[in-house]
Structure 1
Amino acid sequence: MYQIKGKELIFVYTGPDGSGRKTIAKMVATAFDMETVLSYTTRSPRHYEKDGEDYHFVTEETFKQIQAQQEFIESVEIDGIHYGIREQDIVDAFKNHQLVYLTLNPEGADKLKQMYGNHVVRIFVYADRDTVIERQKIRQDSDEVIERHMSHYDEIMGYKNNCEHAFENFDSPQVSYQVSELIESYLDRNLTVTDY
């Protein structure tokens, strides 16, 4: 397992689909020298997503090959769709950056927290049910996709209290400013490195 050094930090954005976690993560990253680590997924890209920017979109076969080579530190199946994170991608991101961020489901956020302890900061971004549905409609998600996401809403909201920080996203620019201030506070601290 990769040993995180000194001031290296992983910020993990989690929360319900449609809460704006990715938007906020990208806005905040521009203010800092932050590298993103993308998940691998077997689902098809949505019309507004790009391979290599939002996810690594791969076939079931490719996913299973990566899994068989034990390259994933975490992989999960949600509604028949596979998601995974490669540890090597985290290692590569840390070569040129002290700060790395990921957008993950609660399982992924939990796994990284278990592995890297205090070097992982979980930021829970959420919005109320109606707002989340509205945002998914605006980005033209199908009714079927929205229904699938909403079937997990309460379960994901239940993870909020496990995270180090939570932000209700009414207004992305305002929340990204608040998150930036939060990250700034982490950079100012002299984190004590504890062995996990």
Structure 2
Amino acid sequence: MAGPYIFIFTGTSGSGRKTMAHRIGKELGIKHVSSYTTRPPRDSEPPDRDYHYIDQERFDRMNTSGDFIETALIHKHHYGIRTHELTDPLSEGKHVYMILNSDGASLMKKLYGEQVVRLFLYVEKRTVIERLEAKGLPAEVINNYISIYTDEVVYRKQCEHVLENLDLNRTMMKIREAIQSHL
């Protein structure tokens, strides 16, 4: 075994990766490592579930002091993973999961090699649009997601597991099998 695993849920926007990650994480007792972001929360996002929402000034201070293992600028907002929130559970021998875009997933793979297992979730573009519209997201946000869909979906070729998320229960079963194949 490569040591405690870092399971990274990545894939297209609107693929259900956050929902699936949180459900399987809770079911299997795997700790979630949240990103920090300067993006304001959307109405449907509870604080500190998917992200720790902070202002730009605090983000800059944390970044300057070397708190983040990685940072990214996405649609004018900064995101970062706090180093100790990842390394502490790993040093205790605990598996973790993260929800990252392809850039973050690639960086984590580069840094942690075989410890990183990427689970790529996707749905067809039309389904992405329908799901984002159902969430009540503004057209500008939906258009931003759709504009990067092709770039996102191409990343699946680099991931250890690729799952099309059409049916919740079936996808959960496949994710469970994928994760357990590493444990």
Normalised to the residue count of structure 2, the TM-score between the two structures is: 0.95
Could you tell me which residue of structure 2 aligns to residue 181 of structure 1? Answer: 177
> CA distance change for structure 1 residues 181 and 76 in 2, over 3 Å: closer, same or farther?
same
Gaps of 5+ in 2: none
- Deviations along 1:103-126, one digit per CA (max 9) or x if unpaired, are 001111011101110000001000
2:108 to 102, 106, 112: 112
- Measured in 2, the distance between the counterparts of 1:180 and 1:23 equals 14
Letter in 2 for 1:80: K
| Conservation of the 8 A alpha-carbon contact between 1:33 and 1:97 | no
Q: Does 1:58 align with 2:58?
A: no
After the TM superposition, which parts of structure 1 deviate over 4 Å for at least 4 consecutive aligned residues? Answer: none
Q: Does 1:70 align with 2:61?
A: no
Letter in 2 for 1:35: K
Report deviation, 1:33: 1.6
- Measured in 1, the distance between the counterparts of 2:111 and 2:143 equals 32
Say which SS state the counterpart of residue 159 (structure 1) adopts: helix
Could you tell me which residue of structure 2 aligns to residue 29 of structure 1? Answer: 25
Could you tell me which residue of structure 2 aligns to residue 91 of structure 1? Answer: 87
- Measured in 2, the distance between the counterparts of 1:72 and 1:108 equals 12
1:160 to 156, 162, 181: 156
- Measured in 1, the distance between the counterparts of 2:25 and 2:100 equals 16
RMSD (Å), alpha carbons = 1.4
Report percent identity of matched pairs: 38
- Measured in 2, the distance between the counterparts of 1:7 and 1:79 equals 34
Gaps of 5+ in 1: 188-196
- Measured in 2, the distance between the counterparts of 1:96 and 1:47 equals 35
| Conservation of the 8 A alpha-carbon contact between 2:6 and 2:117 | yes
| Conservation of the 8 A alpha-carbon contact between 2:11 and 2:17 | yes
- Measured in 2, the distance between the counterparts of 1:133 and 1:147 equals 9
Normalised to the residue count of structure 1, the TM-score between the two structures is: 0.89
